[in-house]
Structure 1
Amino acid sequence: MVPTLALLLLSLSALSTTVLPAKVCSRPPIPEGVNASALKRVFEVGEEVTLSCERGYSSSAASSSRITCTAAGEWTQSNLACSPKMCPIPRVLQPYARGRTEAPYKSVLNYTCDDGYDLQGSNESKCLHDGTWSHPPPVCKAVNCPLPKPPRDGRVVHDKPVTGTTTIYGHSWMYECNPPKAPTYERGFCMANGTATEPPVCREVSCPIPTNIPYGYITFAVMRQHGYKEKVRYACNEHYTLEGEAEIQCQNTGNWSSKPVCRAPCTVGIKRGRIFYNAKKLWIEELKPNRVLHREPVVFYCLNKTEKCGYPVASTCNDGNLPIPECFQEPGKMEYNLKAKTLPSEIRMCTASPTPRPTSSARPS
Structure 2
Amino acid sequence: MPLQWLCEVAGYWQRHFLLIELIRLLIVECCPMPLQWLCDVAGYCWRELEHVVVHVDPEHSKHAQWDDMSECGRPPLGDGMELEGLQRVYSPGDEVVLLCKRGYTPTSGSRTISCTASGDWTKSRLACSTKSCSLPEALGHGYMEFVDIVYQSVINYTCHEGYTLQGASTIECLYDGQWSDPPPTCTPVTCGLPPIPKYGKMVYDRKLTGDTIVFGFGGTYECFPPLVLIGSERGSCSTDGNWTEPPECKLVTCSAPTGINNGYMTNTDKREYGFKETVKYGCNVDYVLDGPVEIECLKTGDWSKEPVCRASCKVGIKRGRILYNGKKFWIEDFEPNRISHADVVSVYCMNKEKKCGYAVSTQCINGKLKIPECFEEPSAIPYQFKYGSLPSEIAQC
Which protein has greater RCO, CA pairs closer than 8 Å, 6+ apart? 1
TM-score normalized by structure 2? Answer: 0.46
**TM-score (normalised: structure 1):** 0.50
Name whichever structure is richer in strand by fraction. Answer: 2
Q: Which has the larger radius of gyration?
A: 2
